[in-house]
Amino acid sequence: MRAIVVGAGAWGLPAAAELQARGHDVTLVDRYGVGNTLASSSGPTRLWRFADPDPVKVRLMRRGLDAMERLEARSGRRVFIRRGLLWRDDAGLGRLVGTLSDEAVDHTIVDGGDVGRYFPGLRPDGRAAVWAPDGGSVLASESLAAQWALFDAHGGVAVVGRTVVRVERSGASPRVVFSDGATLSADVVVLAPGPGAAPLLAGLGLDLPLLPVLEQVVHVGDAASPHVTDALPGFIDAPRGGEPGIYAMPTPGIGYKIGIDEAIRDWAEDDLDRTPSEERTRETVERVRRDFPGIAPHALDAAVCSWTASPDGRFVVDTLDGGVVIACGDSGSGFKFSAVMGLVLADLAEGRAPDDDVASLGLARFAGAPPRAVPRSLFDI
């Protein structure tokens, strides 16, 4: 089978690597290349966790952990670390605990005054929390490097520097159309284009309200002791009052990575500026100074990256007539599922029927659904 995968990010690259390893002829197309800073998949780490109020994501993350272990075994690279995760919240804690209990996820309810026992140096603020030992950091850049090495070793072909403007399904086989008018045909096209998904979907007749935004993450800590935060857990701190929530994780050998869950601006195709916001960096350091007295309140680096919200905060993964598979709407949590999404998308490209959890991510769920505001926060999902 000939396959074209559009997008060499956290979902497209693993799909291409898996399809190539299964003996198919794969062409991977990306405008900027693997690990580029203009899309959604750059940077050294992402947060992974079983703790999630959505039971589908809990079950997919179980499969995701198996897939990361498989990737490590196949590549010889370490692609994740387990550090546990602390989720501090008030209004949303009951829903989270209910899902974890229903899905038999190991967890502990933590009194508001006892959070420092699970996160050394975290200042209590009166809110309770949930501790889940199954969580930590995906070593994102290592994960992409591992997938790229497998793709390359099995003979995959990469096309970098060309822009796909349209996917067509009208002929005997699907084809992609480049900005210069050239085309490339295959038996199946896997479309995983990250923040640029909406116009490509529109060309396929799909009017899906996706919202790509730019957020900023900051590594904090002591540059003279870059490993001092390596053992800290992942952390989710829900919004309180008018203050946005944060998500955080250790990046081994660099510092503690913190993102304030509030976009610095919406993503636009012609906006290639990824200069970090000095104001957002200052806000992040102030949160560290107030809430993390155990971490040195110094910004070590900052980066701007994108994520794309779907209308309901769940991924959009489906098979279309005419040999096209779509995967978009990462909704801020796509990378933790990177390894398993490669398997899922490869299965769909081969024509295999999805299981119930994957099927629940399909387009059918939007049929007849009332319009709603696309969530702009991880905590609106």
**Low-confidence spans in the chain with pLDDT less than 50:** none
The pair of structure tokens assigned to 303 is 């980066």
- Measuring CA to CA, how many Å separate 299 from each of 259, 273, 283? 12, 20, 11
270 phi/psi in degrees, rounded to 5: -95, 5
Please give the pLDDT value at position 376: 77
Please give the pLDDT value at position 372: 67
Please give the pLDDT value at position 297: 98
Q: Residues 20-62: pLDDT tens digits?
A: 999 999 999 999 999 999 989 999 999 999 999 999 999 999 9
Q: Partners of 243 in the beta sheet? A: 240
- Strands of 98-210 (E only): list them: 108-110, 129-132, 135-139, 157-160, 164-168, 175-178, 183-185, 188-191
Amino acid making up residue 308: T
- CA separation for the pair 217, 44 (Å, rounded): 11
Structural domain spans, the chain: 2-380
pTM: 0.96
Distance of CA 30 to the CA centre of its chain: 18
- CA separation for the pair 40, 43 (Å, rounded): 9
Q: What is the CB-side half-sphere exposure of residue 175 using CA atoms within 13 A?
A: 11
* Residue environment code for 137-170, b if the CB has 16+ CB neighbours within 10 A, otherwise e: bbbbbbbbbbbbebbeebebebbeeeebeebbbe
Number of H helices, E strands in the chain: 8, 21
Contact call for residues 183 and 169 (beta carbons, < 8 A): no
- Measuring CA to CA, how many Å separate 143 from each of 8, 10, 89, 153, 294? 12, 9, 30, 15, 29
The pair of structure tokens assigned to 296 is 């040195």
Distance of CA 276 to the CA centre of its chain: 20
DSSP 333: -
Please give the pLDDT value at position 381: 64
Please give the pLDDT value at position 339: 99
Please give the pLDDT value at position 171: 79
Q: Give the full edge-to-edge strand order of the sheet including 135-139.
A: 45-49, 135-139, 80-82
Contact call for residues 54 and 314 (beta carbons, < 8 A): yes
Between 3.30.160.20, 3.30.2130.10, 3.40.50.1360, 3.50.50.60, what CATH number should domain 2-380 receive? 3.50.50.60
